[in-house]
Structure 1
């Protein structure tokens, strides 16, 4: 837990000062509530990645020559959009309106 003493470390959910790390992925979080939010997003992402069609899209995107063109096409696929939204919620959690 010594790495949590770093002044630049923030909770992945609320951006507060973390006290703990997720046992699964080691990201910092500050409370049980934040852990539950993080865990819910992680489970959702994991379930999305089990979908063979999404996995095929991801491989094609990774191996494709024109990634911008592929991204534009894939953003028309509801499954890919759901995946992208889930990733964005994890990377940059929505801020509360009243903060």
Structure 2
């Protein structure tokens, strides 16, 4: 899929973490502490769309902190049509089946690679070739779109 990126603080080790404020990638507590001293969250421009799509199912907490999941009604009709309401995201979080599936290290590695991907669309297409990922996606859709219970019928 994608190559592993280096820590943006020390430029020596592969990154393991991402700053929740500015999304910078870093490898250790030492690098985090160094970065924290100079960290400045990016300025949000009203109406600006994110440059990299973020999978809402992966980082619900991150999205809430960054204000991307809101109920302020400022989105236009096409944007709200594809957004998952917070109530359904909470159902995903509470699902014992999803929790059980996420215990699989292969699925977790795939999800991490997708989250860190520079080309999410292509990498999701590759992931959809893996049965473990399609089962996970189907289970998520059963919760957020109960009327469409099979991902393959949508595609």
Instruction: Give the structure-2-normalised TM-score.
Output: 0.35
Q: Which residue of 1 aligns with 2:111?
A: 58
**How many angstroms apart in 2 are the aligned matches of 1:46 and 1:75?**
19
Distance 1:67 1:75 in 2: 12
Q: Which residue of 2 aligns with 1:20?
A: none
What is the CA RMSD across the aligned residues, in angstroms?
A: 2.2
**When the two structures are aligned, how many residues end up with a matched partner?**
58
Query: Which of 69, 73, 91 is the equivalent residue of 2:122?
Result: 69
**Unmatched runs of 5 consecutive residues or more in structure 1:** 1-24, 28-37
Q: What is the aligned counterpart of 1:84 among 137, 143, 147?
A: 137
Q: Which has the higher contact order (CA 8 A, sep 6+)?
A: 1
Report the counterpart of residue 32 of structure 1 in structure 2.
none
**Mind listing any 5+ residue stretches in structure 2 that lack a counterpart?**
1-89, 149-155
Q: Normalising to structure 1: TM-score of the pair?
A: 0.53
> Residue by residue, what CA displacement relative to the aligned partner does 1:50-72 show, whole Å, maximum 9, x if unpaired?
11000000000000111011000
